[in-house]
Structure 1
Amino acid sequence: MISESSSFVKGMVLGGLFCVFVTLIGHNKMGHGTKAHHHEHHHIQAPNKEDVLNLSEGERLELSHSIRVYCIILVKPKDLGNWAAVKETWSKHCDKAEFYSSESVKVFDSVVLNTNDMWMMVRNAYKLAYERYKDEYNWFFLAHPTTFAVIENLKYFLLKKDASQPFYIGHTVKSGELEYVDGDGGIVLSIESLKRLSKIFEDPDKCPEQGGLIWKLSEDKQLAVCLKYTGVFAENAEDSEGKDVFNTKSVGSLIKEAMANHPQQVVEGCCSDMAITFNGLAPNHMHVMMYGVYRLRAYGILLPPPL
């Protein structure tokens, strides 16, 4: 098992790499970017770094106000430690973050869903998010409390994506004929996808609340089935080098795998420089990641002024 110090080292590495780009993160302009016919492909990449570097300051400022990310974190009372860690760390970087809980918990504010079933939690959280925020946010990011997310990297990835198109993004997995986004790595829906999803929720034959075959599937598979009926398909998110940016494992696990498979190139073999999520983190490791990504700076490296 990888120690906390390994996570600390990787956090520092990611932090140094991330700092070069954190102030270049843009926001998407509606009507500009990937078109719907691209969705026949199930792998989409982040923009080239050069494209962002060539943006003028005015263009970056304009873009920075057009992508609005609303974060949905699903929690249960047993998650109190991670709940507190997420609240204190990465969720502060969302344009708005809310915790959707299975039941009321006195120590934290949350949107109470009054169900312990994960599919019902996902379903109800999306319904409420759409009803309340469809006119305020154009990207909706759903995560578990064991997930650490770098929201700036998410916005960088979405730089040239058009939220009026049906995007459903994350780490994709194939299960038989069904391709779905693994919830452990986080799920991103554009406002168009959420709009379609909210409509299919009203069709019990295609997207039932319970009962039937769909009820036997995990919540992320059930979501994919419902979205498929609307013409929205899962797409795997990759950086410009083809590396996954949504990770369903922790940094420690990925380093351990890289050490075994690529001992001469542990950092390169581990993770993307522009990784968006890691999963399976304990609360203390979230704080280590927060330090590495957002606070650590390498002396002598000049950074552009923040937006």
Structure 2
Amino acid sequence: MMVPVRRLRRRFISFLMYITRDQKTLFGISFLLGMLLAVIFQSFHSTDDFNIAKYSYDFAYEKWLYSRGLYSVNTDPDKNRYKDKNEIDVEAAVNPMTEAGFLYSQVPVVCIVFPDQLSAALTVKNTWGQHCNYLRFYSAKVENSSIPVRKIPSKSSFGLLCSALLDLEKEELNYSWVLFFTEDTFVLPENFRYFAAALNSTGEHYLGHAIRFWNVVYNWGDAGYALSRGAVSALLNRFSTQELCEAGGKYWKNGDWYLGKHLHDLGIFPVDTRDEQGKGRFNGFSFKKLLFPGGVSLFERYWKDSLYLSPDGPQCCSNHAISFHGILSSSKIYQLEYMFYHLRPFYSGGIYGNSPAPPPIKAPYLSWEEKMKEEELQKMFNSLLTTPEGMHEVLASSMHDALS
């Protein structure tokens, strides 16, 4: 039986009017449509669409160590490479025999945070901020002499950022990198040092999560970003006064964009900072959003504007991630500080994971990433051998034949 088009139209309009009156029905339909769109998006975006790098570990950090006559060795996992902050004296808590202690002295970093609330500044100071060589707070809204937070009146976020760098230069600190983060970001400075150690900080480097907006490629402020000392010098050669800093930005919330624009004019550009698996180091979302597949909305600009994408879900984040943005409560930041820096899973001290059995020849206890890294390392060593692999077996067989 044919139904007139006019009647179908009336029924459809009546249905729309019904669901807009019933909020629960409207919410349910909207939720189902959102889930459907997310599934379609995930189905049409394979790992190739995320431009994930093929595994090719470059050993930049190991080569940097070797150039100094050093190399990494296994140690008790409870020491790991993070500084132990149980000591009252911060410097005394740095074990110089660990990688964390070594990198703390070799790759000094200044962490700059722009807080809107004094309570947030105090939280950063008591948690991850302790792991920076130097920690500085600048704000256009609040001021405090005990934390301390220095107030710099500014009409734009770029003006505040630029003026903060001018103020930093007056201190004549011995630093290699300046890291910029928001007050609601949790940061692992140790992982940044590990990543940046092989880079020459006197060069002009601009690290973060690259994103495009208004035809400018810049590092996203939510994920945090870092400038090498060389990049800072180049920027301040152009913005040598606070007046010039203020003239360099117009809108308050676009400080990261203006910074990228000015660095672009100086020939300094963002680069791909993902690890060899294509996983993000600088992350502009929280653990809750990134680790749950579909947690980052399909409509977030992250998917459209990011130059170097990482999928959400288990493949989102590097094992050596540097930052996670959107930690909205002080209690969460204190929890993360405890879990990363104080929680000790190996209660008896342990030797390489409390594993008493000797490892099999093929070392199946390694993760697939560690296995691939081991294979790449073996390939590199084999290429350096002057004697072909297996030659000793050939020689032994020939010697046996000769004696027979």
* Same fold (TM > 0.5): yes
Tell me how far apart the structure 2 counterparts of residues 222 and 259 of structure 1 sit (CA, whole Å). 29
Q: Which residue of the partner structure matches residue 308 of structure 2? A: none
Q: Which residue of the partner structure matches residue 333 of structure 2? A: 286
Tell me how far apart the structure 2 counterparts of residues 108 and 203 of structure 1 sit (CA, whole Å). 26
Residues 1:226 and 2:226 are matched in the alignment: no
Q: Is the 8 A contact 1:48 1:240 kept in 2?
A: no
Please identify, of 237-246 and 47-56, the stretch whose mean Cα deviation from structure 2 is larger: 47-56
Which residue identity lines up with residue 163 of structure 1 in the other structure?
Answer: S
Question: Displacement, 1:131?
Answer: 3.0
> Could you report, residue by residue, the CA deviation over 1:93-145 in whole angstroms, capped at 9, with x for unpaired residues?
00010111223236632222133632221111122123323x51111111111
Q: Give 1:81-96 correspondences, 5 Å limit.
A: 81-96=119-134
Q: Give 1:139-154 correspondences, 5 Å limit.
A: 139-154=177-192
Please state which structure has a larger fraction of its residues in strand: 1
Identity %: 24
Which residue identity lines up with residue 108 of structure 2 in the other structure?
Answer: R
Q: Which residue of the partner structure matches residue 322 of structure 2? A: 276
Give me the TM-score of the superposition, normalised by structure 2. Answer: 0.55
Q: Which residue of the partner structure matches residue 250 of structure 2? A: 215
Which residue identity lines up with residue 126 of structure 1 in the other structure?
Answer: L
For 1:235, what is the secondary structure of its paired residue?
Answer: coil
Residues 1:257 and 2:297 are matched in the alignment: no
Q: Which residue of the partner structure matches residue 109 of structure 2? A: 69
Tell me how far apart the structure 2 counterparts of residues 303 and 139 of structure 1 sit (CA, whole Å). 32
Tell me how far apart the structure 1 counterparts of residues 271 and 124 of structure 2 sit (CA, whole Å). 26
Q: 1:208 to 1:110 in 2, by over 3 A?
A: closer
Question: Displacement, 1:156?
Answer: 0.4
Q: Which residue of the partner structure matches residue 8 of structure 1? A: none
Q: 1:259 to 1:184 in 2, by over 3 A?
A: closer
Tell me how far apart the structure 1 counterparts of residues 260 and 312 of structure 2 sit (CA, whole Å). 34
Question: Displacement, 1:157?
Answer: 0.5
Which residue identity lines up with residue 86 of structure 1 in the other structure?
Answer: V
For 1:72, what is the secondary structure of its paired residue?
Answer: strand
> Could you report, residue by residue, the CA deviation over 1:215-252 in whole angstroms, capped at 9, with x for unpaired residues?
24711010111112221112231122221100011111
Question: Displacement, 1:50?
Answer: 8.3
Q: Which residue of the partner structure matches residue 157 of structure 2? A: 118
Residues 1:127 and 2:173 are matched in the alignment: no
Q: Which residue of the partner structure matches residue 241 of structure 1? A: 277
Residues 1:296 and 2:359 are matched in the alignment: no
Tell me how far apart the structure 2 counterparts of residues 49 and 162 of structure 1 sit (CA, whole Å). 12
Give me the TM-score of the superposition, normalised by structure 1. Answer: 0.71
Question: Displacement, 1:47?
Answer: 6.0
Rg larger for: 2
Unmatched tracts of structure 1, length 5 or more: 1-42
Q: Which residue of the partner structure matches residue 25 of structure 1? A: none
Which residue identity lines up with residue 73 of structure 1 in the other structure?
Answer: V
Tell me how far apart the structure 2 counterparts of residues 245 and 71 of structure 1 sit (CA, whole Å). 17
Which residue identity lines up with residue 230 of structure 1 in the other structure?
Answer: L
Please identify, of 96-105 and 148-157, the stretch whose mean Cα deviation from structure 2 is larger: 96-105
Tell me how far apart the structure 2 counterparts of residues 260 and 199 of structure 1 sit (CA, whole Å). 39
Which residue identity lines up with residue 110 of structure 1 in the other structure?
Answer: V
- The one of the two structures with greater contact order (alpha-carbon pairs below 8 A, sep at least 6) is 1
Question: Displacement, 1:56?
Answer: 2.9
How big is the alpha-carbon RMSD for the aligned residues of Structure 1 and Structure 2?
Answer: 3.5
Tell me how far apart the structure 2 counterparts of residues 224 and 303 of structure 1 sit (CA, whole Å). 43
Unmatched tracts of structure 2, length 5 or more: 1-52, 73-96, 298-310, 354-404
Q: Is the 8 A contact 2:155 2:246 kept in 1?
A: no
> Could you report, residue by residue, the CA deviation over 1:163-210 in whole angstroms, capped at 9, with x for unpaired residues?
011000001101242110011111100000000010111499xx7623
For 1:75, what is the secondary structure of its paired residue?
Answer: coil
Tell me how far apart the structure 2 counterparts of residues 182 and 80 of structure 1 sit (CA, whole Å). 24
Question: Displacement, 1:147?
Answer: 1.0
> Could you report, residue by residue, the CA deviation over 1:9-42 in whole angstroms, capped at 9, with x for unpaired residues?
xxxxxxxxxxxxxxxxxxxxxxxxxxxxxxxxxx
